[in-house]
Amino acid sequence: YIEQLFTNKLDCSIHPYFERLANLKVSSHFLIDRMGKLTQFVAINQRAWHAGQSSFCGRQACNDFSLGVELEGSDHQPFTIAQYRMLGKLHNSLAERYPVLWNREHIVGHSDIAPGRKTDPGPFFDWHYFFELAGIATDK
């Protein structure tokens, strides 16, 4: 159902759990599933609706100036090695076009731009491992 959610094609009447998502309009530039499969939903030169009410470095409305990458998972389970590997590859590809992405300060989770409202990538996300795969030095 995750791909249906990010393309706004989810039939929220099929299960009571989905009812709270009925009027939600979301999208993301990219999704990396548990097997490491990368799916692109929105072109990188277009706005995706992944951040919602948010701010970063004093700028509001992060959807207007950011790229959204979703990892299939939850706050209660570690991400897979395949997801990290694909995320590292995606980062490096995007950083060729957007060199600012070589600066770790410009790579944040939804929990950083919308604290209290968003929790992802969550406590199981291994920032050090991701930055290592991406070739970025870090102390995060």
In whole angstroms, what is the distance from residue 4 CA to residue 27 CA?
A: 10
3-state helix, strand, coil in the chain (%, to 5): 35, 10, 55
Neighbour tally for 8: CB within 10 Å: 12
Can you name the residues that pair with 70 across neighbouring β-strands? 31
Catalytic residue among 3, 19, 70, 72: 70
Active site annotation includes 96:
no
Locate 69 and state its tokens: 């990458």
Residues catalogued as catalytic: 70
